[in-house]
Amino acid sequence: MEPKNDTEISEFLLLGLSEEPELQPLIFGLFLLMYLITVCGNLLIILATISDSHLHTFMYFLLSNLSFAEICFTSTTVPKMLVNIQTQSKVITYAGCITQMYFFLVFAALDDFLLTVMAYDRYVAICHPLHYTVIMNPWLCGMLVLASWIIGVPYSLLQTLMALRLSFCTHVEIPHFFCELYQMIHLACSDTFLNAMVTYFATVLLGIGPLTGILYSYSKIISSICAISSAQGKYKAFSTCASHLSVVSLFYFTVVGVYLSAGAAHSSHSSAAASVMYTVVTPMLNPFIYSLRNKDIKRALKIFFQWKL
């Protein structure tokens, strides 16, 4: 089939997680429930950190930013999927697909960098507790959060502009529930070498780079915790970073698992199903991880609900 210029492509078909009609109501109900839990849970974390003056610290400011990013991250994909199931349509416009891909990449990068900054914050708090307020001064804290928001924008814009140069065949079906970058590159009829190279280097710089920073921070944290003589002191130090470590592990393990499985051409639908873990399940679980393992958040939520009542 002869490829046409991408400007002639008006729409794509999102095949979703399953093409079985009898499974669509179940998928719709499950994803609607998970989406509502994600939005409400992360919104409660934000409201708790705003309403309780004891939580007006950099750590909880980062947590509220992460919760907001998780809401936006999930909202780039799930609502469109729910609309498609409800209307029994698989169509997404070309402009809609490109827009969805851009914002998905923006908030995925934001998640990545916020988790890295949170790891650095825990490193300073545990390894240099006496100098924490000096090192993590308001100016540096503001710059770290601002950088986390800004860095993802040029990266996402570059990937989107590179996707715009791709040409697609007349009939384009995306075996996914959203416009995923790797699927777009795989389905293109034109040469994708430049796209693959940009994606590779971006993954190394923006993926492996932050992960290396997180691993370095936690190697220092673990060394510091092991040096503490009392068991109670070790538990207290570890409890301050256990929630973040759980979230980081969940995020990176699921992402790595998805893109390792995506290497096989026959695993497109299984890769889409695995993507649910980091696009929907991880953002949904984050509020539970932070609220269940954090006494300050639990106290703030209790006060918030009592005040509302």
Q: What pTM does this model have?
A: 0.89
Q: In this structure, are strands 91-93 and 11-14 parallel, antiparallel, or unpaired?
A: antiparallel
- CA–CA dist 73, 103 (Å, integer): 8
How many C-beta atoms surround the C-beta of residue 185 within 10 A? 17
Which CATH number belongs to the domain containing residue 259 in this structure?
Answer: 1.20.1070.10
How many C-beta atoms surround the C-beta of residue 19 within 10 A? 11
Which one is predicted more confidently, 3 or 118? 118
Per the structure, the complete domain to which residue 142 belongs is given by 11-307
In a domain, 3, yes or no: no
Q: Which of 124, 82, 119, 142 lies closest to 215, judged by CA? A: 119
Q: Is 201 exposed, middle or buried (0-12, 13-18, 19+ CB in 10 A)?
A: exposed
In a domain, 235, yes or no: yes
Lowest mean pLDDT among 5-9, 135-139, 155-159, 194-198: 5-9
Hey, what amino acid is at 105? L
In a domain, 177, yes or no: yes
Q: Can you tell me the mean pLDDT for 19-29?
A: 90
In a domain, 2, yes or no: no
How many C-beta atoms surround the C-beta of residue 208 within 10 A? 10
What pairs with residue 168 in β-bridges? Answer: 4, 188
In a domain, 26, yes or no: yes
Could you give the 3-state DSSP secondary structure of residue 52?
Answer: coil
Task: Dump pLDDT digits (tens) for 87-97.
Answer: 988 999 999 99
Q: What pLDDT does residue 202 have?
A: 84
CA-to-CA dists, residue 115 to 67, 110, 121, 212, angstroms:
11, 8, 10, 12
Q: Is-contact 268 176, C-beta < 8 A?
A: yes
Task: Dump pLDDT digits (tens) for 197-247.
Answer: 888 888 788 888 898 999 999 999 989 888 888 888 787 777 778 888 888
In a domain, 1, yes or no: no
Kind and range of the H or E element at 180?
A: none
Q: What pLDDT does residue 240 have?
A: 74
Q: What is the band of 160 on the pLDDT scale with cuts at 50, 70, 90?
A: very high
Number of domains in the chain: 1
In a domain, 17, yes or no: yes
Q: Look at residue 301 and tell me whether its pLDDT is greater than 50.
A: yes
- CA–CA dist 309, 301 (Å, integer): 12
Q: What pLDDT does residue 102 have?
A: 95
Which one is predicted more confidently, 295 or 115? 115
In a domain, 65, yes or no: yes
